[in-house]
Each structure stands twice: as C-alpha cells, then as structure tokens.
Amino acid sequence: MSSVRTEKEATTTLSEALKSAKTRDADGDAVVRALKSVTEDNAPEGETIDGFHLVIDALKLNGIDTIFGLPGIPITDLTRMAQAEGLRVISFRHEQHAGNAAAAAGFLTQKPGICLTVSAPGFLNGLTALANATTNCFPMILISGSSEREIVDLQQGDYEEMDQLAIAKPLCKAAFRVLHAQDIGVGIARAIRAALSGRPGGVYLDLPAKLFAQTMEAAAGKASLIKVVDAAPRQIPAADAVNRALELLKGAKRPLILLGKGAAYAQADADIRALVEKTGIPYLPMSMAKGLLPDTHAQSASAARSYVLQEADVVVLIGARLNWLLSHGKGKTWAQEKGAKRFIQIDIAPTEIDSNVAIEAPVIGDIGSCVAALLAGIDAKWARPPAEWTGAIAERKDKNLSKMAATLAARPSPMNFHSALSVIRDQVKARPDAIVVNEGANTLDFARSIVDMYEPRKRLDVGTWGIMGIGMGFSVAAAVVTGKPVIAIEGDSAFGFSGMEVETICRYNLPVCVIVFNNNGVYRGTDVNPSGTSDVAPTVFVKNARYDKLMEAFGGVGVNATTADELQKALAEAVASGRPTLINAVIDETAGTESGRITSLNPATAKKK
Ligand code: ADP
C-alpha cells in the first residue's frame, strides 16, 4: 500500500500551502483547495483516490445511504461529492438537529446514523446530539472535520481550533481520529462496530482537513476499505441464566413485563409479542416501546400503571433501565415497603445489572436471543398468572379508561390538551403506520398516555434525558428513512428549540405535520412578573403567536386551529396530502401544570409539597 508522502514532507508543504492560502474564506474551501494542490503534487502516479472519496466509498460499502449534516469548512466538498456519488445528503440549519436526525435514524434502522459537521462550534453543536444518542443507546456516528493536529497541539490559534477528539471522548461510546488516507477504511469500520455492537451508542470520528485532500493509488485505496461483517453479533444468553429467570417467573403470583426502548430497537417484535401472549403476563411499555404490541392489547396494563408497579411481585425488564423514569426501582412508585420486588432483567450490557436495586435473575444477551430462549421454556403447561391478578388490573383499567373517555369527549373552548390530543389519537388510529414525534412538558405527558400506538417503533420522543429540542431532527429522520407520514406533537416551548428546521422540512418536501400546542408559554402562559418592570415573566412567550406562519414562509401549509374540528380537518388533510404542514393549535393558556408530571424534580415546587 503506498503512502502519499512522508509526514515531514507533508508538514512542510502543507504549512507553505496554508500560508499561501492565507484566507479562510466563507465558503470554506480555500484551505482544502490549497491542501489538495499540495497533495496532488505529491500524488502517486496512475489512477488515484482522495480522502473525500475514500470516506464516501467506505460509508457506501457499509450500507450507509444517507448523511445528515451541515456543510462548511472543511467538509463542504465532502457533502457535494457524497451527493454526486449517490448518497442522500440532508442539510440542516443547525448541527444539533442533524445530529438528532442521525440518532433517530440509527434507532429506526439499526444502522448507525451519520451526522457530518464542521470543526469546533459545528462539532460542539453536534455533540449534544451525540451525547444524547449515547445516553439513549442509539447508534450514531458524528463525523466532524477538524483543524490540523500540528497547529491544534501547539495551540497556535487555527481557524476554529479545538482538540475535538479529547472533548468528545467522555461523551460518547468511542472516539477515533484518522490521520492518513490509508486508515480511513479502518477508522470507519471501527466507528461502525463501536456504534452497533453490544449496547449501541454514539461514536465520534475526527477527520482533519488535510486528510480529505490526501491521495493514494486507487486500487490500494479500495483494498484498504473494510466491509464490516456482523457488526452487532448476537449474544446468546447462558442456559443457567435463562433457567434461573424461568424458575423465578414460574413462582410469581403477580408478574409484570416491562418493555423499554431497547426492546423496540432490537426488532424482535414477533418473539416479544409471543412471550407476552404465551405467558399471559400483563405488560407495561415505556414510552418508546409503545406499539411493540398495540396499546389496545388486552394485556396492556398502561391504564393501571401505578397499580401494577406497586403490586407486582416479579418484574421482567426487557430493554429498560431502572433509571429515574422508573423511579430507580424504589420508593412509593414500587411500594417497596410492601416487600422487595424480584427482578428479571434482560439486557445486553452486564454492567447495567444491579445499577439501582438487586436483580435476582439477570439474562445477559441480545434481546432477540434472550426472548427466544425464554420462549423455548414456555410450553403448553405454562400456568398463566392468577385471575385474581389479571382481573384486578382489568377492573382498574376499565375504570380509568372510561374516566379518560369522558374527558377526551369534551369539547371545551379554547381547546385544552385533552380535546386536542383526542383528535390526534383518532388520526393515529386511522393511520397506524404514521410516526409520532413528541416533546414538551404537558404536551409530552398527556400525549404519551392519550395517543395509542399500534405498531413498533412509531413513537420517537424525549427519551432518557427528557431532552427538549429533538422535535424537528427526529421528524426529518423519520420521514427520510421510512417515507411514512410524521405527526410531530410539540409543546410551544419545545418547538422553539428546533423550529427553524421547518425550512428543512419544506426544502425536502417531507410528509411532516407539526402541531404546536400553543398555550403562550413554558408550562402555561399565565405567569406574571412580580417586580413591576415591563418584562414578561420568564416562562411567558409572545401571546397569540402564529407559528403556522413559519411554515407558510417556506411554502408549506400553515393552519391556525382554534377548535377540535379545525384541528381534525387540518391534520387529516396533512396526513393525506403528505405536504409539510404546521398547525398552530390554540390551547387554553391556563391548561398546563408546572413541570408537567415531573414536578417533584423541580426544587422549589418539590419543597412546597
Ligand atoms: P426506556 O427508556 O424505554 O426504559 P432504556 O433506554 O432505559 O429504555 O433501556 C434500554 C436498554 O436496552 C439499555 O440498557 C440497553 O443496554 C438495552 N439494549 C439496547 N439494545 C439491546 C439489544 N439489542 N439487546 C439487549 N439489550 C439492548
């Protein structure tokens, strides 16, 4: 394999080129052009391939067909060339949303989503999404262009100088830098493997500007690329671990299955459904596991959530962590004072076990293999849970569901969260293949419990961090990778974090309908500034804002909906037409509650309680 030139030669010629390039012009390519001319001078004879094309070919070789990103120094040409070479390049207005799109694409497809950014600030903007992807166990690769090592390491003040690799490392699963064209294949293979294998997560790949311009002999370049074989190897659980779990489950009087988004990611849908149905055990889906079995399934215990968490004696966690979203498996939520719960936990990460409470029967492996192994132990003689337990759940469910039905049927003016969400609930029932994206405080909490999901991986939301700002990035990814209609249910505050991406939605003419629940502020729009100055309270927005006009500005459809009927009509039209649409749903500004359902995490409010 031929190297382009020695490092010393390269450094000398490059620094000369950089000096002569002088400018770091706005379109970003003077430096790369200068570098390219130098490397071309040093190029091997015969047919050559440059770093740009090695990166593109390595991605294509591994089945990557889409890049989410934002062009600029030093990756502008990479985006152009990638498009020319047949990759789909979706350009965003801010890197965080490109990163969120990559993360959602990773979750939906089991292929690492790729986010491409410029150096320093662009990299930092993408980093939030990378950290969020890692926290949520979504596979993604953040690829950022960077400044030259020689200048960064001596802190000589390069354009957008930053030691990106060092900064990324603690925030993701793995981080790599490639300095030589002949290592691009290895770099991308390692990034893909790290993102997908074991517990999936975010990977950072640092590509300094001069790498793109390096050239090498074409055949050697091609030979240096790696097609990753079996990137997410199955991990078969040990037989004794499976037996231990089955024994514990057999003795349960009030068993419960808890499905998390790891179960949704694993795409073991048929076996998971079979496990639930063959055992007859009631189940609870975490929010992004909704739809693994239809929310209307007879065994769903969602409408009796508090009751089953408190009363269950054996809980089977499948791809769900006992983190804050499950009150760490402790306290009032679990009624631990009534005696210790016994847990079976299926997870690919052995270190997850015992992270909050003791896990009596860990089953370590990939969810597909673990669930299949458990299923093999469930035969015709399996005793279904006692009728006392399933009957008590059904009773509570019925009571709660009929109470909720009455609330949802009301048509108050202005709309409240329930009346608006009942319209969306009906639309999702009519189009169960539509993908729901959901963020906000009250908008999130109410939508999660009101809008039933019917198919796996159709709900994308704020995830493990409860983060705001995923809305438009997730929506773009969902539309791009599935081609299905997307319904983004957005609090007005949450929408603000990524609202400018409606231009992206219009530019690519994506079938996304954004519904902004506009109640004039964060939580609600009624706070008053007690100080007497003219500023509004920190949680209050411009009153009666018309978010629909934002979509119209870019050629999409904007609708101002003040009644449930108007909302229903606009949403049905949007889903049927597939045109980018934003519905400004006017909600009673007094309707929200402080911090939504997580009031207890708000120090001042918690203290008052
Ligand atoms: P939720 O927020 O829905 O409760 P979490 O993100 O807390 O879900 O948990 C997901 C869990 O699933 C993680 O602990 C992760 O290790 C695990 N996981 C992800 N993919 C797989 C897989 N293919 N097989 C087994 N476990 C997985």
The alpha carbon of 137 and the centre of ligand 1 are apart by a number of angstroms equal to: 7
Q: What is the pLDDT of residue 145?
A: 98
- SS3 readout for 5-22: CCHHHHHHHHHHHHHHHC
Structure tokens at 408: 């949802």
Which 3 state secondary structure label does DSSP give 277?
Answer: helix
Residue 341 CA to its chain's centroid (Å) = 31
Question: 45-49, 76-80, 212-216, 497-501: which has the minimum mean pLDDT?
Answer: 45-49
Residue 601's pLDDT band (boundaries 50, 70, 90)? confident
Distance CA 54, CA 184 (A): 7
Question: Sheet of 283-285: strands edge to edge?
Answer: 283-285, 255-259, 314-318, 342-347, 361-364
Calculate how far, in angstroms, residue 80's C-alpha sits from the geometric centre of ligand 1.
36
Beta strand 48-50 with 486-491 is: unpaired
Indicate whether 8 pLDDT > 50: no
**Could you tell me the distance, in angstroms and rounded to a whole number, from the CA of residue 262 to the centre of ligand 1?**
3
For residue 183, the 8-state DSSP code is G
- Supply the residue whose CA is at minimum distance from atom 11 of ligand 1: 319
Is residue 230 classed exposed, middle or buried when 0-12, 13-18 and 19+ CB atoms within 10 A define those classes? exposed
**265 Cα–ligand 1 center, Å:** 8
- Which 3 state secondary structure label does DSSP give 44? coil
Residues 6+ apart with CB under 8 A from 208: 145, 146, 147, 148, 149, 177, 179
Residue 34 above 60 pLDDT?
A: no
In percent, the amount of the chain with pLDDT more than 90 equals: 88
What is the identity of the amino acid at 50?
D
Token pair 């002949």 is at which residue?
182
Question: What is the edge-to-edge ordering of all strands in the sheet holding 459-461?
Answer: 459-461, 435-439, 486-491, 512-518, 581-586, 557-561
Nearest to 143 by CA among 190, 82, 206, 194: 206
- Start-to-end CA span in the chain (Å): 69
Q: Which domains does the chain have, with CATH numbers?
A: 46-224 (3.40.50.970), 239-393 (3.40.50.1220), 410-601 (3.40.50.970)
- Tell me what pLDDT residue 340 has: 77
pLDDT in tens, 153-211: 999 999 999 999 999 999 999 999 999 999 999 999 999 999 999 999 999 999 999 99
Q: What is the mean pLDDT of the chain?
A: 93
Cβ of 236 closer than 6 Å to ligand 1, yes or no, is no
What is the amino acid identity at position 597? R
CB distance 468 to ligand 1 below 6 Å: no
Rounded percentage of the chain residues whose pLDDT exceeds 70: 91
Nearest atom within ligand 1 for CA of residue 235: 24
Query: Ligand 1 centre and the CA of 128: distance in Å?
Result: 20
Closest atom, ligand 1, to C-alpha of 321? 7
474 touches 99 (CB < 8 A): no
Q: Which of 59-63, 240-244, 519-523 is least confident? A: 519-523
For 217, residues 6+ apart whose C-beta sits below 8 A from its C-beta are 1, 2, 44, 46, 47, 48, 49
CA–centroid distance, 357 to ligand 1, in Å, is: 17
251 CA to centre of own chain: 37
Q: Is the CB of 289 under 6 A from ligand 1?
A: yes
CB contact set of 8 (below 8 Å; sequence gap of 6+): none
315-335 as b/e: b if 16+ CB within 10 A: bbbbbbbbeebbbebeeeebe
Q: What is the pLDDT of residue 500?
A: 98
User: What is the distance between the alpha carbons of residues 515 and 485, in angstroms, rounded to a whole number?
Assistant: 13
Atom of ligand 1 nearest to the CA of 365: 25
Does 138 contact ligand 1 (Cβ within 6 A)? Answer: no
The residue whose C-alpha atom lies closest to atom 21 belonging to ligand 1 is: 262
Q: Is 132 in the pocket of ligand 1 (CB under 6 A)?
A: no
Longest CA pairwise span in the chain (Å):
82
Q: How far apart are CA 451 and CA 517, in angstroms?
A: 15
State pLDDT tens for residues 297-340.
999 999 999 999 999 999 999 999 999 999 999 999 999 776 67
Would the CB of 264 count as within 6 Å of ligand 1? no
Of ligand 1's atoms, which has the minimum distance to the CA of residue 232?
A: 23
Please tell me the distance from the alpha carbon of residue 342 to that of residue 353, in angstroms, as a whole number: 13
Pairing of strands 48-50, 215-217: antiparallel
In the structure, what pLDDT confidence band is assigned to residue 18 with cuts at 50, 70 and 90? Answer: very low
Q: Looking at residue 594, what is its pLDDT?
A: 78
Q: What is the pLDDT of residue 43?
A: 56
Handedness of CA 280, 284, 289, 295 (dihedral sign): positive
Residue whose Cα lies nearest atom 9 of ligand 1: it is 320
Q: Say how many Å lie between the CA of residue 131 and the centre of ligand 1.
A: 16
How many whole angstroms separate alpha carbon 344 and alpha carbon 377? 15
Determine the angle formed by the axes of helices 367-376 and 239-250, rounding to 10 degrees: 60
8 A C-beta contact, residue 596 and residue 438: no
Does ligand 1 lie within 6 Å of residue 109's CB atom?
A: no
Taking 60 as the threshold, does the pLDDT of residue 39 lie above it? no
Name the pTM for this structure.
Answer: 0.93
Q: What is the pLDDT of residues 386-441, one digit of tens each?
A: 999 999 999 999 999 999 999 999 999 999 999 999 999 999 999 999 999 999 99
For residue 286, the one-letter residue type is M
Contact 517, 420 (CB under 8 A): yes
DSSP string, 424-464: HHHHHHH-TTSEEEEESSHHHHHHHHHS---STT-EEESTT
Q: What are phi and psi of 202, to 5 degrees?
A: -90, 145
Q: Based on C-alpha coordinates, what's the Rg of the chain?
A: 26
On the 0-12 / 13-18 / 19+ scale of CB atoms within 10 A, 532 is: exposed
Cα–Cα distances (Å) from 416 to 140, 276, 562, in that order, read 37, 35, 10
Tokens of 415: 């709309």
Average the pLDDT over 235-254 and give the result: 98
Q: Give the tens place of pLDDT for each residue, 468-499.
A: 999 999 999 999 999 999 999 999 999 999 99
Q: What per-residue confidence (pLDDT) applies to 17?
A: 47
Q: Is the CB of 260 under 6 A from ligand 1?
A: yes
Q: Is the pLDDT of residue 576 over 80?
A: yes
| Residue 414: strand, helix, or coil | coil
Ligand 1 atom closest to the CA of 352, numbered from 1: 14
